[in-house]
Every structure is written in structure tokens, then in C-alpha cells.
Structure 1
Amino acid sequence: MNTSHRTATQRITTTLAVLALGAATAATPAEAATYPGQTVSRYTPLAGGSAERTAARDAGCAEGRTGRDGVRVLFFGTQEKGDKLRQPGTTSGSTSARVAASTAADVATAWAEGFTECRTGGATADLAMGVNNKSDGGIDGAAAGRAWAAIVDGTADTEAVTITGAVDAEPAWSSPSWARGWVDAFTQASDHTLYAANSADGCPTHGSSSTSCNNGWKLADLHYVATGAAPTIKAIPQIYRTDGIQARQWSAISSWGATKGSGPVRFAGAMSQEAACKQRGGCSTTDNSPKDAWNQLYTELNAHSETKVDSLPVATDMRWA
């Protein structure tokens, strides 16, 4: 073998070795972060009475005993005129109980007290008090957002629990202007974090040229209510479907923000509903486990340069209280 041939062979061998080392040591996005474990969030129907506060205290205690930090969401349903709340999963024609919105503060306080009393390992929690964007309650979005900010601001923290807000904003449930008005009013009235546990009904997936979602919503609207309206908003989107399409929709929303809006979505985690599905059924394709939901979102976001995230701190799974 002549010298020039030997030198070329050495270069090829060295290059292959470097590539092999890189392949062995480089982590894929799914491997680069550790699954944080899940917290439990709850749909919390209210009818009034001490039993609800006792149940909330027990639920908080159970979460405190896990020793796990992180966000938990209590969804109280729909705001109606007269400062009333209607139970989750109902429409305006429902005969379910309506309660004073202040009842949610009592229940959240009980949850926080239970968590604080029972926690292990110095665990802390953000307790996100949430409502949805159903616009059938006889109240406009801005008034509803201001009213909910007052409820959240009036609920006291404990040494272990920070009270925050949450909204379940879904295109099917209101016009985009109603939801934008709600988010604007809440974030203008309150400095508390607002967790956006939203869906992306009918939105395109990453790479599509479409910007349209269901019910007249656009990617711009989804981005606005999940991040763009204020720096205090953090997104924990619904990643319920087992086929991963919701993760791909949220990467499209984040990509839109990165290229045309005010930056990518500020993701704080992923939301699933495995426990709620086991309780009530009817979830043949929307019963992602919290780990699968988290993995789908984390992997999809890190598949695109403009949507990459360094971490995804929260996986939370919905159940009925």
C-alpha cells in the first residue's frame, strides 16, 4: 500500500470511528430528558357542602404523600352569570347544581391544607384553579376572566402550595374572541400564573400550510391563549389521543409562534386523561397514559429546531374527584 492510499484509509477509519462514537453517545430527544412522573389533576363537580371540602383535603393529602413536586389542576366547570359555577361536562340546559364561585376557593383551600399537612420530602405544588371557556353561561369572556382572577387572587397560598389559575380553552366551546377576552382580562387583573390546559381541535399538524382550526379559530388564536397574551401563561396541553396527533398539532402551534408570533409556546408539561377514562369509559382512542402523553409531546417538539424544549417538567393525569 502506498503512502497516499494509507493516509486516505486512515482518514476514513478515523471518520467512521468518530461517527460511531457520536451515534453511541448522542441521545435522541426521548432519551435526553427523564420522565418526571405524573401528578393527579381532577374534574371537581361542586354542589356545596362540607363533604366536598373533606374530599378535597383527602385528595391533597394523597398528593402530598407522593413527595412529588409539580402542578395539579382542579377543573370546576363553567362560569355562569351571577358568579355561579356549573359542573364540568355539562351544558346550559343541565339541571346539575349551580354554586357560588367562591365555593371553588373553599375547596382549593382544603386541598392545599391537605397537601401541606401530609407532604413528604418537602414537596411543593402549584394548585391551578381552573374553568373552561364555554360561552353558554350568559357572561362575556372579559367579565368571566376578571371574575375568575378575583377568585384565584382571593385564595391563600400555604407554605407548600402556590395557588395559580387554569383555563381549559377549546375551540368547540366559544368563539376565539370570547377566549381571547377571557385570557386578556385574567392576565391583566392577576399576576398569578395561568396554566393553559387547552385542546387544539381541528388544527393542522406540523409542516402543514394550513393555519385553520375548528369553529373559526386559527393557529394565532391557539398560540395567543396558550402563551402570546402574557408572560404569565404556561401551557399544559391536552395530549389525550393515542395516535400522537395532538402532539403534532401543538408543535404546529408552537412553530407558528416561533416564526410569526411572539415566540414558541411556553410548555410546562402534558395533560392526559387515563384515569378519567377508566372511571367513565368511552375513550377508545383518547386514553393516553400520562407517560405516553409526555413522551409524545416531548419527542415531537424536539423533532423540529424551532420548537425544541430543554425540559418538560410536568405530566398530569385527569380523573374525576
Structure 2
Amino acid sequence: MNKQVGLRGQYMGKVFVLIAMVVMLGFGYILPVNNVSASAPPPAAQSYYMDTVDTVTLYDMGYQKGLADYKKAGTQNSMVILDFGGQSSPTSLSLFGMPDASLTQVAAAVEAYSRGYWKGTASDSLSTVHIIVGTNNSYTVTYEGGQNFANMIDDINSHNNMNSYSDQVEVDGGNDMEPGYDPASTTIEWVNGYDSVNSYSLYNYGSADGCYHTNLNSGTINYSCNNGWTYKDIQYISWGASPAWPLPEVYDNSGDMAEQWQNIAKYSAVTAAKPMRFSASLTQYAACTSTGCHSELDNTPSQGWSQLYSELYSDSKTKSATNYPILSTDIRWH
């Protein structure tokens, strides 16, 4: 392998991050903002609802992404969700409109994407892609399924580490966890299953369906959401559980979804004493453009990012979240 080692974070130091934040805030220090401005959203990466685990296809997807980053000036850092659908069983994923795939097949596909990206970046050894391998909580949602999913993420990273792809490709688990899909109790069991064996982080790129969405609450009330869920439940699967990071859907033009997540962040800061950090905003503009969607749910990536940033910045209890880079990713159908 002739690539120079680049920067690679695995977001595995969240506990240390939280301790550092408490210490720094206690002494009045503020971490610098890195390339984040309410008036200048970052470029959006392209994420996908996957209908295939064909390794040739995934290699080409990764290669084209790497080549595009190579051709851009400067160092590129982006977050890409590869959503393979819900778990049809604890050992398989449903894909979208295609036959089920085993977790072993999904792992091979992501490994191929990783190799493609690494090759596509050529002499650029510093640009990185953070791949979120995704499922959702709408099918078979079990503790065992969470464990198996975490083990798959470990296997992918072991492969990438051995082949130097991890120099530029970070891989973590993800789940589109939505209150309307499944009861909180079973979704939390899945997260706990993931947490019981994981070595890598878990990103919740879901919604906060039915949650209170004004900016007037104090952060002390555990409001109800759809399907029996509460703020506390969403905070736990997104940040309270040790591997969890929030990557919120911000689809709607009205800004309600951004307000919901700002309220959950406020609840986390005030009641759970755990100020949230947000990895990215997620929009579905490309999916809406290609297949259509509700007319109020087609935020562009810049609109979704700006709504989330502005809501977080607007309140002293959540403003600290904007001291860190918040990326942008937009999903489409493959």
C-alpha cells in the first residue's frame, strides 16, 4: 500500500469529549468554530437508499466519490449514508425493492465502496469519507439484531484496517430510527444490543415524529412524541447511549423538524446534563426530485442545514453545538 496515512477519526472518544466540554465550559473556554457559518452551509454529500449489494457497483460508487474529491481543490471531508433497509431478520437486510441481503453481503459491498474511494482519491491521501452503514427500525427490531449489526461494522473496519482503506474511510453504524415505525422499548433494545458489543459509533439519522416543536420550552419537561415515545427516548438513542450520535432529518420547509431536534438537544443539556453535538443534517431533496415527495418535505441541503444551525444557535442552552463542524448530507434512491 503506497498511500500516505491521512487523518481518521472514529468518534470513539465521546466520553472524553463530554468531559472536556464540561471542563472547558467550567473554565469559560469556547472551542473554535471550524468552517461553520450560518450564512455558508457546507457542501452536501450524496447518500443513498440502496437497492443492491453488488460489489462491482459499490466499488464504482466509491471510486466515483473518491475521484470527485480528488478533483476538488483542498482536503474534502464528507459523510455518506448507505441505507440498506430494515432488518428482515437478525442476520439480513431488506434492501429497497430487491431480494434480502445477508449482513455478510452488505459488509462485502461496503468494503468494495471503501476500496473504490481509496483508489479514486489517487495521490490525495488526506480527503476522507465517513460512511454510515444504515438500517431502520421498521422490521425485525431486536437486541440480537443490534448485536449482529455492530459485529458487521467491526468486520468491515477490520478489513479496511488491514488494507489501509481506513486511512481515508471511516465506517460506523447507522439507523433511521423513527417513532412511527416501532415502539421505543424495542428500538432501545436494538440500540442496547449494538452497544453491548460495539467498537464503533452508531448514528441515528431518524426523525422526532410528533415531538413538541416550539422554541419556548425550558428543557425540563419530557414531552411526548408519536407512538408513545418521549424526548427521553429519542435523546437516549441519539446521544445518551454510549455509541450514539445524532444525524437528524431536517426535511420540512416550515422548520418544525429542526425545532424538534433543538428541543431534544435542550432537554439533553438541561435534564440529562449532556450537551449534544450534531454530526450532520440530513435532507431528501434528491429523492424528492427523482421520485417525488410531499411538497412540504423537500428542503434543499442548504435549507435543512441552515434551519438546524439557526435553531441550535438561537438558544443559549444549545448554542454550544454550533462550535463544532456540522456536515450536510442529502439522500436519494440508488
Normalised to the residue count of structure 2, the TM-score between the two structures is: 0.79
1:257: how far off? 0.7
Matched, 1:249 2:254: no
1:217 to 208, 217, 229: 229
Residue 30 of structure 2 corresponds to: none
Tell me if structure 1 keeps the 8 A contact 2:38–2:310: no
1:82: how far off? 5.8
Matched, 1:74 2:82: yes
Residue 181 of structure 1 corresponds to: 189
CA distance in 2, matches of 1:203, 1:105: 34
Residue 103 of structure 1 corresponds to: 105
Residue 33 of structure 2 corresponds to: none
CA distance in 2, matches of 1:58, 1:98: 22
1:191: how far off? 1.7
Deviations 1:118-139 (A, max 9, x none): 12643111111111011x33xx
CA distance in 1, matches of 2:107, 2:121: 21
Residue 133 of structure 1 corresponds to: 137
Matched, 1:291 2:295: no
Residue 154 of structure 1 corresponds to: 155
Query: How many residues are treated as equivalent by the alignment?
Result: 279
What SS does structure 2 have at the residue aligned with 1:258? helix
CA distance in 1, matches of 2:107, 2:290: 26
Residue 115 of structure 2 corresponds to: 113
CA distance in 2, matches of 1:104, 1:283: 30
Q: How does 1:186-197 map to 2 (within 5 A)?
A: 186-197=194-205
Q: How does 1:1-321 map to 2 (within 5 A)?
A: 31=37, 34-46=40-52, 52-67=54-69, 68-81=76-89, 83-88=91-96, 96-119=98-121, 121=124, 122-134=126-138, 136-137=139-140, 140-155=141-156, 156-157=159-160, 158=165, 159-205=167-213, 206-208=215-217, 211-230=223-242, 232-308=243-319, 309=321, 310-321=323-334
1:32: how far off? 5.5
Aligned AA (1:141): T
CA distance in 2, matches of 1:165, 1:259: 28
The 1:148–1:253 alpha-carbon spacing in structure 2 relative to 1, beyond 3 Å, is: same
1:146: how far off? 0.3
1:210: how far off? 6.7
1:58: how far off? 1.8
The 1:253–1:269 alpha-carbon spacing in structure 2 relative to 1, beyond 3 Å, is: same
Any runs of at least 4 consecutive aligned residues in structure 1 with deviations exceeding 6 A, and if so which? none
* Structure 2: runs of 5 or more not aligned: 1-35, 70-75
Normalised to the residue count of structure 1, the TM-score between the two structures is: 0.82
Deviations 1:3-58 (A, max 9, x none): xxxxxxxxxxxxxxxxxxxxxxxxxxx84674221111111123x6xxx2222122
CA distance in 2, matches of 1:32, 1:85: 38
The 1:104–1:262 alpha-carbon spacing in structure 2 relative to 1, beyond 3 Å, is: farther
1:239: how far off? 0.4
Tell me if structure 1 keeps the 8 A contact 2:204–2:246: yes
Computing the radius of gyration from Cα coordinates, the structure with the larger value is 1
Deviations 1:186-220 (A, max 9, x none): 12211202111110100012324670100000000
**C-alpha RMSD over aligned residues:** 2.0
Tell me if structure 2 keeps the 8 A contact 1:167–1:194: yes
What SS does structure 1 have at the residue aligned with 2:317? helix
The 1:214–1:32 alpha-carbon spacing in structure 2 relative to 1, beyond 3 Å, is: closer
Aligned AA (2:95): Q
1:315: how far off? 0.1
1:103: how far off? 1.2
